[in-house]
Structure 1
Amino acid sequence: MDTRETWPEIRHHGGAGGVTGSCHQLIASSEHSLLVDCGLFQGEDAAEDSLAQLEVGFDISTLKALVITHVHIDHVGRLPYLLAAGFDGPIICSKPTALLLPLVIEDALKIGFTRNARLIEQFQAKVQHQLVPLKYDEWHSVVDSADVAMRVKLKRAGHILGSSYVDVALNDKAKGTKQRVVFSGDLGAPHTPLLPAPKSPYQADVLVLESTYGNRNHEGRRERGEALKRAIEQALTNRGTVIIPAFSIGRTQELLYELETIVHTAPPSSDWRALEIIVDSPLAARFTQVYRQLKPYWDDEAQRRLRSGRHPLSFDNVYTVDEHETHEQTVRYLAESGRPAVVIAASGMCAGGRVVNYLKAMLGDPRHQVLFVGYQGAGTPGRDIQRYGPGGGWVELDGERVDIRAGITTISGYSAHAGQRDLLNFIKRMRRWPREVRLVHGDDQAREAFKASIEAVAHKAGRPISVVLPVVYE
């Protein structure tokens, strides 16, 4: 059977029917394909045989390039396995992503592969050799053969610094057809601190669109700022600590930006002026340093703040904890002293990292607050705390049952993902709407609800769109 009529074909090797493991293969012909992301499965998406799930079992013989949309582990965590499987082609990403990627890869290797410094250095050198950093909004040729031409362009996604969505231009020379395929990666919400909001592409024939928050909208920036302030002031009143589980890249830097706003505008006599804000994550501290180096990529508001002499990521109240011994001392001190503080610690879903030690020490004390500012995946301790904590339940951490007496607050507005309204606008603001939308990176409930919303909008506008809920390709 000649399969040419089915090309281009999109195969999802992760991120379909779940919110992690993003990995999408665009097959242009029998000899040419492109991979967008190669991420790790986390939480409920992770199989019992996690090692088998890490293996790159799909055919990579036709891969001409890998495009990385951003450096979150659920989008790049399987990169070591892809290279181990033999992929030696170009790794395309934005220039900021190229600077952030080595930190993520080093951390991923130490957790899942090896702590041998020499082996890590060799792997990093291989990645650097294959990296092709691109400027935003410039076309780059991936394939130009007798039969097929394929070009890619990266555009700002507004999710974390360096994040991109991918515009692919396909030209089937033999058939005389051209198509545009857009992969959204993770799209950010408007008014995200430090980052310009994403702008829709002019057109797309096929759109592979994330749907993490496809069934809900976020609070506005003013509302989420007030909610953040209220949660912390409650802990100040109780003489307790606010524990914020946050991803090392993106969320940590956005929180610092927002906290600097509150501290800067607080009255001189306010407790805010003396409040300690502790970043207890060596990796987050390193990412923050790179964020500072990438100031030219900050948005206009952040640029104005810099020009006025303010330093939103390195103000006086911020302290960083590096050594593990200092971390242990800090946990004990805050648990026992009654000195108010804000602690930002990884991991974002409480599945490991230093935040677990704070939770074990403080979840049982009502003076303290746990503040969730991002998505908590099903099957993670963070989701359990979020779900059972308000009712005085318990959670299992490191194999121990920990009772929850601390206050539990969730602020959805700080999610780095676009809400339903923003995702719909990404489609509606295209001059030429897609004929097909493939919803990925969302749980079944979110995808089903978002599918219905897209179909309703398309029907009202008189623009037919086929909305597909793909599954992982076997």
Structure 2
Amino acid sequence: MKLLHHGAASGVTGSCHQLWLDSHHSILVDCGLFQGEDLARRQPPNLEIEFSLAGVEALIVTHCHIDHIGRIPYLLAAGFTGPIFCSKASAQLMPLILEDAVKLGFTRDRRLVDRFLALIQQRLKPLPYHRWHAIPENAPGMVRLRPAGHILGSAVVEIAMDRHRRVAFSGDLGCYDTPLLPDPDPPKRADLLVLEATYGNRNHEHRDKRNRRLRAILESTLADGGTTLIPAFSIGRTQELLYELEELLFQMLGEGALSKVPIVVDSPLAARITRSYRRLQTLWDSEAKERLRRGRHPLDFEQLITIEDHYQHQALVNRLQHSGEPAIVLAASGMCSGGRIVNYLKALAGDPRTDILFVGYQAPGTAGHKLQQLSRPGRVMIDNEPIQVNAQIHSLSGFSAHADQPDLVRFVSGMTLPPTTIRLVHGTPMAQKGLATRLKRAIPGVKVELAALIRHGSRQNAPA
């Protein structure tokens, strides 16, 4: 088997893996955007497709986060003409994400954007979970998707290269007992498992503990009369936070100000995706469906305010800056590298009554990572401006959409037959090393490879 990594070999962005089905045909699993230091390390730092597409028959998408699909426009521009396989939910969400990406990175010309989206729709081949599907006729192999528990529509990808050989790609795995989503579903067997390692050397907080901490942070903010800013990814994290906030407010109904504080989602994309999540209720887990049966609406409750218009956004930023009214604001981007969260940070980060709450991974080199590292008041470059930060900085690892080390080991241990080889990707070298050590103890005899240590020239490629 020949497997090349065109991204996410030693970092957590730019996921793109090329698997050869035979000597002439290959597939890509994901084609994501580089961000932060992962982008800066590219020489020159660009997003072009720098590998040959000869023999690439199909793209298989694990899920719709931008670090897994953000280079698809570049892939099409480079001449890729094959199908794009993904889950049915991802097929609904992907055009929304890519439309936003094209507007930000390429053009706002509506005619050109619509032409691009029409092309994407033509290429998309939605697949149900748990059913084998043939890869294009001129290539061998079959593909099957399984729930990954990361975001709605996320998938573990199984490739049957022939009757005997199988390769599985975890994509990004979610935590077990994640709100809204069923648990990750490992394949029965795989000769080679390509496994993410984002938090391969970390243990997350338990869900109950993180929710208690969330409540304490919000109550503190309200007591100070300030604003809680939560940089959140538009897809996945925003919906999970809304789900948990609805439960928190339900528990505290009538107990004080927290039950009345406005919860603001200030992101047009997040608003559209949340509406899609509501339409896809059949994919929710049993806990979420039970709330619906009891007449509660986890993603659409009384205190929820959605801001889509830019003028409404700017008016709210100004109001919070000058009024001192308490609010909980969820805004993109999740790593503070762009989007509406930037305006909130510029206006409110200097106020000591402000709380900035990180609930997901912050890639090194991003503004979010620099903020997260502050242990005392100081200056941080945000949108190329030095911003004085006097706000309180918090991190809740338990809200991560990525499995931690115990959950990653649990996923592999859940396979009926352990894999012969595990290739670790989508993690720093330290995270990969930590997970490799734990996997070798848990699964005696397994061969664990670190993609971070496999380099050929300027690319992160190697035969499996």
Check whether TM > 0.5. yes
Which residue identity is paired with 2:250?
H
Please give the secondary structure, in 2, of the residue aligned with 1:259: helix
Aligned: 1:412 with 2:403: no
Corresponding residue of 2:450: 468
Pick from 369, 377, 380 the counterpart of residue 383 of structure 1. Answer: 369
Counterpart of 2:144 in structure 1 is 153
Match of 2:16 among 15, 20, 23: 23
1:403 CA displacement:
1.8
Q: Tell me the CA shift for residue 438 of structure 1.
A: 0.7
Q: Which residue of 2 aligns with 1:447?
A: 432
3-state SS in 1 of match to 2:140: strand
Contact 1:143 1:151 in 2 (8 A): no
Mapped pair 1:167 → 2:152? no
1:64 aligns with 2:57: yes
Contact 1:30-1:62 at 8 Å conserved across structures: no
1:317 to 303, 320, 323: 303
Give the counterpart letter for 1:430 in structure 2. Answer: M
Q: Name which of 185, 194, 200 aligns with 1:199.
A: 185
In structure 2, relative to structure 1, the CA distance for the partners of 1:473 and 1:464 (3 Å cut) is: closer
1:456 Cα deviation (Å)?
2.1
- Matched position secondary structure for 1:166: strand
The aligned amino acid for 2:448 is: S
- Indicate the residue corresponding to 1:257 in structure 2: 243
Gaps of 5+ in 1: 1-7, 172-176
> Which among 102, 115, 131 is matched to residue 108 of structure 2?
115
Match of 1:95 among 83, 88, 105: 88
Q: 2:130 maps to which residue?
A: 137
Aligned twin of 1:277: 263
Structure 2 counterpart SS, 1:70: coil
**Alignment RMSD:** 1.5
**Could you tell which deviates more after superposition, 372-381 or 177-186?**
177-186
How many Å apart are 1:87 and its aligned residue?
1.0
Contact 2:433–2:450 (Cα < 8 Å) also in 1: no
- Residue 202 of structure 2 is matched in structure 1 by 216
Kept in 2: contact 1:281–1:321 (CA 8 A): yes
- 1:48 offset after TM fit, Å? 6.6
Cα distance in 2 between the residues matched to 1:48 and 1:431: 39
- 1:334-353 aligned within 5 A: 334-353=320-339
Structure 1 residue 396 and structure 2 residue 381: aligned?
yes
Paired letter, 1:344: L
Deviation sequence 1:13-58 (CA, Å, 0-9, x none): 1010111000000002222111100000001100376876311121
Count of residue pairs brought into register by the alignment? 456
Structure 2 gaps of 5+ residues are none
1:81 equivalent in structure 2: 74
- CA deviation map 1:94-138 (0-9, x unaligned): 000000011111111111211111111111111111110000000
Q: Which residue of 1 aligns with 2:4?
A: 11
Give secondary structure in 1 for the equivalent of 2:135.
strand
8 Å CA contact retained: 1:144, 1:150: no
Distance 2:126 2:302 in 1: 34
Distance 2:41 2:143 in 1: 36
Letter in 2 for 1:233: E
After TM superposition, the score normalised by the length of structure 2 is: 0.96
Q: Shift of residue 144 of structure 1? A: 5.5
SS in 2 for 1:347: coil
Q: Counterpart of 1:225?
A: 211
Shift of 1:272: 1.8
Render the CA deviation track for 1:333-353: whole Å, top value 9, x for unaligned: 112112111000000001111
The answer to whether the 8 Å contact 1:381/1:395 transfers is yes
Q: Does residue 1:433 correspond to 2:415, yes or no? A: no
CA distance, structure 1, for counterparts of residue 100 and residue 446 of structure 2: 45
CA distance in structure 1 between the aligned counterparts of 2:268 and 2:76, rounded to whole angstroms: 27
Q: 1:51 to 1:129 in 2, by over 3 A?
A: farther
What's the counterpart of residue 241 of structure 1? 227
- State the partner residue of 1:4: none
1: CA distance, partners of 2:82 / 2:197: 30
SS of equivalent residue, structure 2 residue 328: strand
Give the Å deviation of 1:468.
3.3
Aligned to 2:293: 307
The code of the aligned residue for 1:185 comes to: G
| Aligned sequence identity (%) | 51
Native 8 Å contact 2:210 2:399 kept in 1:
yes
CA distance in 1, matches of 2:198, 2:437: 15
Distance 1:216 1:458 in 2: 19
CA gap of 1:404–1:170, structure 2 versus 1, over 3 A, is same
Distance 1:51 1:155 in 2: 37
Deviations 1:427-474 (A, max 9, x none): 111111111111100011111111111122233xxx332333344139
Equivalent residue, structure 2, for 1:174: none
- Partner of residue 184, structure 1: 170
Q: What does the per-residue CA deviation read over 1:200-220, in whole Å, with 9 as the maximum and x for residues that have no partner?
A: 111111010000000001111
* Higher deviation after alignment, 406-415 or 392-401: 392-401
CA drift of 1:401 comes to 1.5
One-letter amino acid of the counterpart of residue 386, structure 1: Q
Whole-angstrom CA distance in 2 between matches of 1:464 and 1:289: 43
